[in-house]
Amino acid sequence: MAFQTGSATSFADLLSQLSTFMQANGWTEDERDNANGDFAFSQNSIYVSGRWEVGNEGVFSLHQATAFDGVSTLPGDHTGDSGNGYNTTTSHAASNLLLERHVDLESDGPYPNYWFFENNASPAYVHVVVEFTTDRFAHFGFGELVKVGDGWTGGEYCYGNRHTATTSTSTVSTWLLDGVFQSISGSDENRAATLRMSGFASQPAGSVWANVWGRDVNAPPDSASNAKANVSGGYRSSLLATSLGLFNGSKSSGFVPGYPIGCTFVDGDISTGGRTAHYLGYMADVRGVNIRNFAPADILNDGGDQWYVFPARLRDTTPAAGVTGFAGIMYRRVDA
């Protein structure tokens, strides 16, 4: 369990600091190739990798697999790859990476602030927030759900961050394990978070992955052409999000109704009348929150806990590119 905050002079510096932080806390750096623009990390059954365009840093892809096959294998081609992330060519061009699951920091820095939140025990996770320019934030991460229920295998997730719209309700934007993102224009479906999941009767044959988004159809196949399931995410969409997310908490009132980011899978065939909703679990130490009464990077004290509060992208209510109103995300600081 660890926390770190600081600034970074460039993307390479950010990645270097993140790698050092993760390794110091028990994660494995499987690859970091600054010459070609590849990286990979692992812990437990979490395997993530990514790529960026050398000389045009600031945009990077994120891939999730079931193994790491070695440095000679490109990100997106490792065993059991989920299929989300640019893996149909050897190109590292940022113009291609933007078409798939990615994070766009909009420049090679410097980045005024970053925050790393980590747990290396189960449920393990690394959640990262970057203030890439003043008051504009990006979120990305990977980890394991706090699982609910038996009878299924998996729980590992990976998410990027894409938002170019003018409001937080955009269906072409995605954060965390999102439940509103649902665009299938171009390759948008490949921008969604993924969750390793198997063991449900209605999953497609050979399926070990699910898209986490706001649709119950149209998940793209994984890299081995196996169909993926469709799981509804809990950020921006769930009974908790649509109820607690409306309340304006504040420090003075001591009332801050953060809602958990969970995942739900609907199992069964609607044509036979037998469908069951399975609540799969939720992200550890992360909540969605209304930030009307909070400043970016505000710190909330809850007993012995500290929660850091951030805008989804840009805290503003005037429609403009990147604006996300009062949609917020809070992370619990956990020190060893």
Q: Is residue 249 predicted with pLDDT exceeding 80?
A: no
pLDDT over 70, % of the chain: 96
Mean per-residue pLDDT for 271-293?
87
The predicted pLDDT at position 68 comes to: 98
Triad 116, 261, 194: Cα angle to 5°: 80
Structure-token pair, residue 35: 């010459």
State the alpha helices, DSSP H only, in the chain. Answer: 11-24, 94-97, 239-244
Please report the pLDDT score of residue 272 as a whole number: 59
The pLDDT value given to residue 122: 92
Task: Give the pLDDT mean for 17-46.
Answer: 97
Taking the C-alpha atoms of residue 122 and residue 111, their distance in angstroms, rounded to an integer, is 31
- Report the percent of the chain where pLDDT is more than 90: 64
Q: What are phi and psi of 29, to 5 degrees?
A: -90, 105
Residue 327 DSSP SS3? strand
Rounded average pLDDT over 277-295: 94
The predicted pLDDT at position 247 comes to 74
Q: Map residue 16 onto helix, strand or coil.
A: helix
Q: pLDDT band at 271, cuts 50/70/90?
A: low
Q: Give the model's pLDDT for residue 32.
A: 97
Q: Which of 27-36, 46-55, 252-261, 291-300 has the lowest mean pLDDT?
A: 252-261
253 pLDDT above the threshold of 80: no
pLDDT of residue 269: 63
Q: Which domain holds residue 292?
A: 2-333
Please count the structural domains in the chain: 1
Q: What pLDDT does residue 251 have?
A: 79
- Cβ atoms of 279 and 105 within 8 Å: the answer is no
Of the chain, the end-to-end C-alpha distance in Å amounts to 5
CA pseudo-torsion sign 53, 60, 313, 291: negative
Q: What is the mean pLDDT of residues 288-294?
A: 93
Pick the range with the lowest mean pLDDT from 69-73, 229-233, 264-268, 309-313: 264-268
Across the range 152-168, mean pLDDT stands at 90
**Least-confidence region, from 22-26, 54-58, 104-108, 266-270:** 266-270
Q: Which residues contact 72 (CB under 8 A, 6 or more apart)?
A: none
Residue 87 pLDDT > 60, yes or no?
no
Mean pLDDT computed over every residue of the chain: 90
Q: Is the dihedral of CA 121, 126, 127, 132 positive or negative?
A: positive
Got the DSSP string for 296-311? TTEEEEETTEEEEEEE
Give 198-233 pLDDT, tens digit per residue.
998 888 888 999 999 988 888 889 998 999 999 999
Give the per-residue pLDDT at 18: 98
CB atoms within 10 A of CB 28: 14
User: Of 129, 135, 103, 127, nearest to 114 (Cα)?
Assistant: 129
What are all long-range contacts of 145-149, with beta carbons under 8 Å and residues at least 24 apart?
145/195, 145/263, 145/280, 145/281, 145/282, 145/283, 145/284, 146/281, 146/282, 146/283, 146/284, 147/123, 147/280, 147/281, 148/279, 148/280, 148/281, 148/282, 149/278, 149/279, 149/280, 149/281
